[in-house]
Chain A
């Protein structure tokens, strides 16, 4: 099955790329979109088949010079392939409607979406260092071209593209360094060879390899403090590309960590996984705090990606830590939670980014303070975003709840057996997961409640129009997947267990179709039953209300309570900024918001105020503190170096002469 579906997926996406390149503007959009969606569907089939145990490998010696291309799919790669494919189906369907306007139906964007997808299907299928790095770089370049697709219309796009280009290439450099060093030490560049040679390497060497690849992969996954590109690039990309990046591409960073750390290097020392756990926890908290105070809908979603990838890394780190201490069952449970969270996050983040794109498409703005009242003008998008927000906020009836529940179970069960190390690390880890879950609820109540409910806060929101059918179809597919995952996670868990077994061998960690049972641990939970009981309770209450409420008149419409001061205007509503203000105040020390208050008094008296201007901005503090000094120093060094090159040819010849002589003298001294 895999041997047919995987080449079919690649073939269809390449066909879509060709269609995007050669077809005229008329049929280009639909043809490329349908072919990309087909490629995505084939990737889902290939990934699912690989997860069911249909391992597949291929060697194409002629394709790349020197080494040749090696491809192989195992259940772990299959999982990421299937997730990528499913996201691509939704994004491609949506893209058919979304790219109608704004110059997005040009050759470059239409060609690059399928190329991006092809690269993302190749990354989890690569089975040698050179193939992997090539696919990785192709993915980075294709996504970079897509991020800057709208650079003509907005200045921020250019800055975002620059940040992304630099960060992703720095990431590539460290991954390349790590993997090349690994391959050189192992005398082989195929993953099989690396796996076999890993045990023979010195511990320090393996640690260095892991550190290097972890930095690179964590940057791709948007883990703080290497996340700075993500909240810039994801919001500025066209929305279907944002979905592809935020729901599919970031996952591959986690894939890299799991593949290299667990599979190729075969576990490792406890400090590796403590590092992963700490980075994940920091990222989860920082990401969700920034999301909670973000005023831009897409920026909010981008920071929420940082948070969710952080939670995934908490699971991955915990799993590695348990594996080192010999707790096999717990290790499998933590990794199951992490991988299930990747699947769930991909589902709801696709839905949310696509819905945010609909809002942008319908109103022209993504500023939450200017939105509101969309539930009357865009009912379908509102309902779909509502579903996505529920899924993302880790509440029952949502799919995020299931994976976070599993993650918490794995963390709290570590204590009795684990020794002092787990006793010290697990309580803070639980607290971090809990606080980020609580803040996620506040964040998505803000995004949904302020963005979609109440009354429009601007004329743009008042004139909103519903998204066209292809966009709604893309979102509906994503919503359906989310709901299925939410009420019946038991359907995917057996397949997921095989992916987990690649990295953490052992029996299935979670079993049971309706009620989830943890293997070897006491703990049960049933999302389906909770949903059913809630439905029964609500229906019962409705019936009870019918009987108990004795006055059966039709609902009367009445004025809102306006303190008797006449109808309230939309300016009196709570905005996203005011909603987040208490949180911003509580976490003042972490967020360090910049506030300007200018009070201009009248000329006659200092006590009579003429006008007040209030400006507040919450920047990315890590960017401010960590990156700005480096950038400023680099710019200053560049300025200083200018003095060396004043345009005089004599001087350049002099530089050459002195350098050469200096070199000769140095050689004479050394030899």
Chain B
């Protein structure tokens, strides 16, 4: 029962909290740049505005273009229900492990890339092409970091990894965990399309990745895409928090669920604020410097696996 309530709570929390997280990050950035900012609730107001507009189909686009936002949001919601955010006992935990979770997120990305290609504009194709490069290069890092974290547990299932960290908290400061954490942070930045890989607030064709793919969306479709992107960021940060700082997460009793919810909200908010604050001091990388960054994270992940074997094994 804890599991079912927890899973529902996770989905609701992610769905409702994701725009707030984006609002918080924009607010942090605005304050750091000396602006007043639009307030944390602004993304929700934007979504409400977009939902009230009329639905529009650009000329020459097909059914896949209309399906893509649904798939993007759908995969993210499924992931939100599966991963250990509020509770480790999600009934969906056994259906997917960390590999499957990353693959599900990739499925959403692929749907959006195909939609970008479907418009037949140069922008759509460019965004899709760049997004696919990032996706392809991120994959080895994700899987190797997963590998590093699963070695001590003997399983890639997220519930098992989190429970093992709860049982033995000093694992977090092992070299394997720290290296995997750094590698995964780079991955999260790349997957969520943040600076220095992509700039979420740009509309300049030379630098766009995500924005180029979704350029043709308008009205409720755009609302769905924006909401889904915010949820992806939330889910990815939540995943990091769950894997490397799982304290407060509900394991057994339903009474722990509110605590777990509050804990994850706080952790994601802190992580998001830190990310936003760091972004203020960074410039976006040139597109062809991004592979170097991802290669660096890959090397860290490789070190993580090596150290998980050579530094821990008796």
Interface residues of A (CB under 8 A from B): 292, 372-373, 375-376, 393-397, 401, 405, 408-409, 412-413, 415-416, 423, 427, 430-431, 433-435, 437-439, 441-442, 445-446, 448-450, 453-455, 515, 521-526, 529-530, 533-534, 537-538, 540-542, 545, 548-551, 553, 555-562, 568, 570, 572-574, 578-583, 585-586
What are 18 contact pairs spanning A and B, CB under 8 A? A394-B103, A430-B305, A431-B298, A433-B143, A439-B136, A445-B110, A453-B118, A454-B117, A525-B100, A530-B96, A545-B220, A549-B55, A551-B52, A557-B56, A572-B121, A573-B122, A574-B124, A574-B126
Taking CB atoms, residues of chain B closer than 8 Å to A522 are: 153-155, 157, 160
**A449-B118, A515-B94, A586-B291 known; A581 vs B129 contact (CB < 8 Å):** yes
Closest CB of chain B to A88's CB: distance in Å?
A: 32
Taking CB atoms, residues of chain B closer than 8 Å to A538 are: 70-71, 74
Complex CA distance for A559 and B119, rounded to whole angstroms: 11
Closest CB of chain B to A571's CB: distance in Å?
A: 10
Which secondary structure characterizes the binding site on chain A?
Answer: helix
Lowest 6 A-B CB distances belong to which pairs? A574-B125, A438-B139, A449-B117, A522-B155, A438-B136, A454-B120
Residue in contact with B157 in the complex, picked from A372, A450, A523, CB distance below 8 Å: A523
Closest CB of chain A to B95's CB: distance in Å?
A: 4
Taking CB atoms, residues of chain B closer than 8 Å to A579 are: 117, 125, 128-129, 132
Taking CB atoms, residues of chain A closer than 8 Å to B160 are: 522
Taking CB atoms, residues of chain B closer than 8 Å to A415 are: 147, 151, 305, 308-309
Q: Are B135 and A401 in contact (CB under 8 A)?
A: no
Q: Are A556 and B135 in contact (CB under 8 A)?
A: no
Interfacial residues of chain B within 253-285, with CB under 8 A of chain A in the complex: none
Taking CB atoms, residues of chain A closer than 8 Å to B220 are: 545, 548-549
Q: Are B56 and A585 in contact (CB under 8 A)?
A: no
Assuming A412-B147, A445-B110, what are 6 further A-B pairs, CB within 8 angstroms? A427-B306, A435-B136, A526-B94, A526-B96, A534-B74, A537-B75
Does residue B45 face the partner (Cβ distance < 8 Å to A)?
Answer: no
Closest CB of chain A to B55's CB: distance in Å?
A: 5
Interface 1/0 per residue, B273-314 and A, CB below 8 Å: 000000000000001100100000010001001101110010
Stretch binding the partner chain, chosen from B27-35, B59-67, B242-250:
B59-67
Complex CA distance for A580 and B104, rounded to whole angstroms: 23
Does residue B142 face the partner (Cβ distance < 8 Å to A)?
Answer: yes
Q: Are B64 and A561 in contact (CB under 8 A)?
A: no
Does residue B185 face the partner (Cβ distance < 8 Å to A)?
Answer: no
Taking CB atoms, residues of chain A closer than 8 Å to B155 are: 521-523
Complex CA distance for A533 and B94, rounded to whole angstroms: 13
Residue in contact with B154 in the complex, picked from A416, A524, A525, CB distance below 8 Å: A416
Closest CB of chain A to B274's CB: distance in Å?
A: 28
Does residue B57 face the partner (Cβ distance < 8 Å to A)?
Answer: yes
Taking CB atoms, residues of chain A closer than 8 Å to B94 are: 515, 524, 526
Residue in contact with B57 in the complex, picked from A455, A534, A556, CB distance below 8 Å: A556
Q: Are A551 and B59 in contact (CB under 8 A)?
A: no
Q: Are A568 and B135 in contact (CB under 8 A)?
A: no
Does residue B226 face the partner (Cβ distance < 8 Å to A)?
Answer: no
Interfacial residues of chain B within 174-206, with CB under 8 A of chain A in the complex: none
Closest CB of chain B to A346's CB: distance in Å?
A: 22
**Residue among A405, A537, A542 having the largest count of chain B Cβ atoms under 10 Å:** A537
Closest CB of chain B to A112's CB: distance in Å?
A: 38
Q: Are A558 and B103 in contact (CB under 8 A)?
A: no
Q: Are A541 and B73 in contact (CB under 8 A)?
A: yes
A-B contact count (CB 8 A): 260
Q: Are A455 and B60 in contact (CB under 8 A)?
A: yes
Q: Are B306 and A557 in contact (CB under 8 A)?
A: no
Q: Are B55 and A537 in contact (CB under 8 A)?
A: no
Q: Are B114 and A573 in contact (CB under 8 A)?
A: no
Q: Are B143 and A548 in contact (CB under 8 A)?
A: no
Interfacial residues of chain B within 69-89, with CB under 8 A of chain A in the complex: 70-71, 73-75, 77-78, 81
**A412-B156, A530-B95, A568-B120 known; A434 vs B143 contact (CB < 8 Å):** yes
Report, as a range, how many residues of chain B touch the other chain. 35 or more
Q: Are B107 and A412 in contact (CB under 8 A)?
A: no
Closest CB of chain B to A401's CB: distance in Å?
A: 6
**A394-B103, A454-B60, A524-B94 known; A442 vs B81 contact (CB < 8 Å):** no
Closest CB of chain B to A221's CB: distance in Å?
A: 24
Which secondary structure characterizes the binding site on chain B?
Answer: helix
Complex CA distance for A653 and B128, rounded to whole angstroms: 71
Taking CB atoms, residues of chain A closer than 8 Å to B309 are: 415-416, 423
Residue in contact with A395 in the complex, picked from B110, B122, B129, B308, CB distance below 8 Å: B110
Does residue B44 face the partner (Cβ distance < 8 Å to A)?
Answer: no
In the complex, the chain B residue whose C-beta lies closest to that of A587 is: B291
Closest CB of chain B to A589's CB: distance in Å?
A: 12
Residue in contact with B95 in the complex, picked from A413, A515, A558, CB distance below 8 Å: A515
Q: Are B114 and A541 in contact (CB under 8 A)?
A: no
Complex CA distance for A559 and B97, rounded to whole angstroms: 43
Q: Are B70 and A542 in contact (CB under 8 A)?
A: yes
Taking CB atoms, residues of chain A closer than 8 Å to B143 are: 408, 430-431, 433-434
Complex CA distance for A574 and B123, rounded to whole angstroms: 8
Closest CB of chain A to B147's CB: distance in Å?
A: 5
Taking CB atoms, residues of chain B closer than 8 Å to A292 are: 136
In the complex, the chain A residue whose C-beta lies closest to that of B294 is: A586
Complex CA distance for A102 and B166, rounded to whole angstroms: 68
Taking CB atoms, residues of chain A closer than 8 Å to B20 are: none
Q: Are B120 and A582 in contact (CB under 8 A)?
A: no
Does residue B251 face the partner (Cβ distance < 8 Å to A)?
Answer: no
Q: Are B96 and A525 in contact (CB under 8 A)?
A: yes
Taking CB atoms, residues of chain A closer than 8 Å to B215 are: 561
Taking CB atoms, residues of chain A closer than 8 Å to B132 are: 441-442, 445-446, 579, 583
Q: Are A435 and B140 in contact (CB under 8 A)?
A: yes
Does residue B13 face the partner (Cβ distance < 8 Å to A)?
Answer: no
Q: Are B54 and A551 in contact (CB under 8 A)?
A: yes
Q: Are A541 and B74 in contact (CB under 8 A)?
A: yes
Closest CB of chain B to A509's CB: distance in Å?
A: 16
Q: Are A445 and B113 in contact (CB under 8 A)?
A: yes
Closest CB of chain B to A464's CB: distance in Å?
A: 15
Taking CB atoms, residues of chain A closer than 8 Å to B62 are: 375-376, 453
Closest CB of chain A to B285's CB: distance in Å?
A: 14
**A530-B96, A537-B78, A560-B59 known; A582 vs B150 contact (CB < 8 Å):** no
Q: Are B288 and A560 in contact (CB under 8 A)?
A: no
Taking CB atoms, residues of chain B closer than 8 Å to A438 are: 135-140
Complex CA distance for A151 and B215, rounded to whole angstroms: 47
Does residue B5 face the partner (Cβ distance < 8 Å to A)?
Answer: no
Complex CA distance for A573 and B60, rounded to whole angstroms: 12
Taking CB atoms, residues of chain B closer than 8 Å to A401 are: 100, 103
Taking CB atoms, residues of chain B closer than 8 Å to A548 are: 51, 220
Does residue B172 face the partner (Cβ distance < 8 Å to A)?
Answer: no
Taking CB atoms, residues of chain B closer than 8 Å to A430 are: 140, 143-144, 147, 305
Q: Are A560 and B95 in contact (CB under 8 A)?
A: no
Does residue B162 face the partner (Cβ distance < 8 Å to A)?
Answer: no
Q: Are B139 and A533 in contact (CB under 8 A)?
A: no
Complex CA distance for A115 and B251, rounded to whole angstroms: 62
Q: Are A586 and B137 in contact (CB under 8 A)?
A: yes
In the complex, the chain A residue whose C-beta lies closest to that of B160 is: A522
Taking CB atoms, residues of chain A closer than 8 Å to B55 are: 549, 551, 553, 555-556
Interface 1/0 per residue, B88-112 and A, CB below 8 Å: 0000101111011001101100100
Closest CB of chain B to A565's CB: distance in Å?
A: 12
Closest CB of chain A to B254's CB: distance in Å?
A: 22
Taking CB atoms, residues of chain A closer than 8 Å to B4 are: none
Taking CB atoms, residues of chain A closer than 8 Å to B121 are: 560-562, 568, 572-573
